Structures are given as C-alpha cells and as structure tokens.
Amino acid sequence: MAALDMTKLTIKSAHDLLAKKEIGAVELTEAFLDRITAVDSDVCAYLTVCAELALKQAGEAQKAIDAGSGGMLCGIPVSIKDNICIEGVRTTCASKMLENFIPPYTATAAGRVMDAGAVVLGKVNMDEFAMGGSTETSYYKKTKNPHDLSRVPGGSSGGSAASVAANLALGSLGSDTGGSIRQPAAFCGVVGLKPTYGLVSRYGLVAFASSLDQIGPVAKTVEDSAILLDVIGGKDQYDGTSIEVPETSYAASVNAGVKGLKIGIPRQYLASGLDEAVKSAVLNAVREYEALGAVAEEFDMPSLKHAVPAYYLISSAEASSNLSRYDGIKYGFRADGCESYGELVSKTRAQGFGREVKRRILLGTYALASGYYDAYYKKALQIRTLIRREFERAFEKYDVLISPTTPTTAYKIGENIQNPLTMYLADIYTVAVNIAGLPAISVPCGADENKLPIGLSVIGRPFGEADILKTAAALERALCG
C-alpha cells in the first residue's frame, strides 16, 4: 500500500484523519512545509513562509485534538493572502510600498481561522494592492499556474489559488474586489467563494475599494470552502459594514441537491468574446443540472454591458482615496534625499507604487476631480443602482444565476500584461457581482484542449450562500463522482 501523501488531502478528509489520530497536526504541517521547500521555488506562491509559527500552532492544535475540543479547522494548514494582516507577520500587499510593514494587529477573518485551530503556513503572493488579474503586478515575483508553469494563475489572489492547486496548503483566505478570488480559482482548477458584502469582516484587510472588497475562501472542494466560510463569517464589532445574520452551517448545505431549482443564465454572458471551450463546458454543466432535476433558461440583463467600465471607475476612485495614506510620513516606504514635503510625497509614491497601481490612482483621481465627477463617478454609481435592480428582478424568478467565471482559460505569462484594456475586459463575468454586493462561487466544470481548468460561477441572492454552495456541490458530485 502506497504511503499517504497528506498534502493531497482535503480539509474534510484531513480533519477526519486528525480526529481519528491516524495522522498528527505537527506531522501534517511538516509535510506541507517540506513540500513548500521542494516545490514553491517553481510555483512561487509564497512571499513569507511562517515555519516557526506554523509548527507552534500545530502543537497547540494537537493538544486541542487530544482533548477532544478541536473543530473542523483544528490542525489544518492554510495560507493567507498578503493583504490580510496578521500581527507580527510581514504583510506587503506585494508592493515595495509595504516591503517591511509588520502589522500590530490581526485581521478578524485571519484571527477567526487561527482561533479555530488552523495552522498558518505563510502569506501568499498577489497582484500589487490587489490590482490585477494575473499576479504579474507583484513587486516580488510572478506566481505560476500549477497546471502549466508557463501560464498565469490569475489574480489578484493568484498565490491563494496556486497554493491550494499545487498542494501547498489545504485552503486559503483571499480577497475579491472584482473577481479576485473566483478568477484565479477558475484558472487553477479549485473552488473560490466571494461572500455577500458584509458577511465577512474586512477589518485588517488592506483596502483597495472599500465598497467592493470582500474576504473569502479558496479550497479544493465546495465542502471545504463552506467549512472555511462557517468560521470566518459573522458580525464583527470592528467593521461597521459587517452584518448580523442568523447562525447557520454552510457545510451542512452542500448535500441539499438541486431538484426543482430554478437557474437563470444571462444571455449577455454567452455572447461574443467567450472562448468556445469555455462556452461548451458551461452549457454541458447546464445539461448536468437539468439531468439532476433543475430548470434552466436564458434571460436578458442589458445593464451587464456597462458593468466593466462602472467597476473600474468606482474601484479606481475608491483606490485613489484609500491609497492616499501612503505618503512616506506615517509608515511604509519612504524616498531618500527629499528637501520638501511635496518632494517627499511625490518621490515616495512614484518609487513605491508599481505601474498598474499608479494607473488606477490616476484614473480614480481624474474621475473624482471637479468638473469630471458628474460625468464619470456619479454616472458609474447610477449604473451600479441599475445593475443591482436587474439582479433583484432576476432573483424574483430564479433561485441562482450561472455564468462562465472567465472568458478564456489561463493565458501565458507576459501575454496580456502590456495591454491593460484586455486585462480589464477579462473581468466581464465577475465584476457585476461585486457591484451588487452578491455572493458567488467558482467551481471547476471541465478543461480545454490543453487540459487547462474551466470555471463555472454560481451567483446567489444577498446572503444566499447556502443556495450557491448546494448548487456548486451538485455539479462537483456530478462531474467528479
């Protein structure tokens, strides 16, 4: 009998083995640390590996397991996106600006995961300040797609998705502002869940666009993502936008089935620009749902054609405001040889931010400027209202909506980085969810001729996580058995 490769387990299967004392938490953590040493020089998922902290947490988790008090995440090794603060652990947002930043506090979501006994293996790579869709804008390194090291893992949570897909963590926390969890999950063939805005605290998440950002789980299975969501969700006194919701078990919802479920498919998401292999996989998934007893039909959402420009105006305007704090005075990178305050701020921001971050700051500042506010930012907010209302009307008829997660599979590293417009348009299937504050999950639904993963998105009503989880899990079972 072959030796067990613990890095290939799921959160659920690892928990079961830990509970039965067939493996130990320290042993499991060491297996992942060894694999990171052996493999991550190729994948480049991690920016900071916390071996000492991880082994200490594993020892504490084992004590809880031995005492019979360990929950589903106790002893489970995870990674954390590098814009989610952990006290005493370097948090860079993949930017030169925060190269040596050590947070004095821990993000609520990360704290809840650690309080549940999870083991933090380290902080993983991302697009700088979460601005990008390929993890190529990181100041430090380019993360590779584990399915093909010549291709991008997606972004901005590329390190989270790659670490899970490459068996370098059993799960991860990422953030999603316009698809930054779901798109890399699709590219890397894992499950990524963007919760309803307000379900998961943003306290300790370094802000990109505050009205759009949301922390969520990346995992190997739908059930694993639900297990993580059970821990990180809920009201937080430190985040005024977090919302009190009835206590529920998301993990229990994955087995509910989809018989009688009404599924809507926006026609605008099956239009030109969609790769044929992706379209074929999505339509095959629709047939699987119908075979399981669901009812699916196409319908129109005309406002979706405005979602990408509205998203980039709103997110860039908020980024312009949020990133104004990086001035060389308070914390972070500080330029040398400056003789005035103006020169210090100018040089610090010019040297500390990368090209993509500067581009979005300039776009956002322009959109908010006197004389342009009504023409751009105000109009984008009006489109946001229009999109929300169209989703509300859709959910009067349908239980969930489905769409492709991405228009193509993972592309070659360097292929699109010089063409920002191409990169922005690739967000066509994800940004509307953030604009409307809805939950959505990306689940693998096939592969193209190069064996690159294809993702299907399931979108739900506000706080309809149980519906999207059961819908995604039904497809997962149908395709994987």
* Residues annotated as catalytic (active site), given as ranges: 81, 156, 180
- Please enumerate in sequence order all residues whose Cβ is within 8 A of that of 302, keeping only pairs 6 or more positions apart, or say none: 268, 390
- Bridge partners (DSSP) of residue 402 are 458
What one-character DSSP code corresponds to residue 208?
S
Q: Please give the Cα distance from 234 to 16 (Å, whole number).
A: 25
User: Is the bond preceding 157 in cis, omega lying within 30 degrees of 0?
Assistant: no
Give the burial class of 374: count Cβ atoms within 10 A of its Cβ; 0-12 exposed, 13-18 middle, 19 or more buried: exposed
Nearest to 213 by CA among 139, 117, 322: 322
CA–CA distance, 438 with 461 (Å, rounded to integer):
6
The C-alpha atoms of residue 28 and residue 75 are separated, in whole angstroms, by: 8
Which distant-in-sequence residues (6+ apart) come within 8 Å of 205 by Cβ? Answer: 83, 84, 85, 107, 109, 175, 213, 215
Sequence-distant (6+) residues with CB within 8 A of 102 are 88, 89, 90, 91
The percent of the chain in helix, strand and coil, each rounded to the nearest 5, is: 45, 15, 40
Record the tokens describing residue 159, joined without a space.
């390190």
Compute the residue count for the chain: 481
If you search the block for the tokens 């890095």, which residue do you land on? 7
**How far is residue 303's CA from residue 267's CA, in Å, rounded to a whole number?**
12
Residues contacting residue 281 through CB under 8 Å, at least 6 positions apart: 445, 446, 447, 448, 454, 456
DSSP lists the bridge partners of residue 176 as none
On whether the CB atoms of residues 140 and 92 are closer than 8 A, the answer is yes
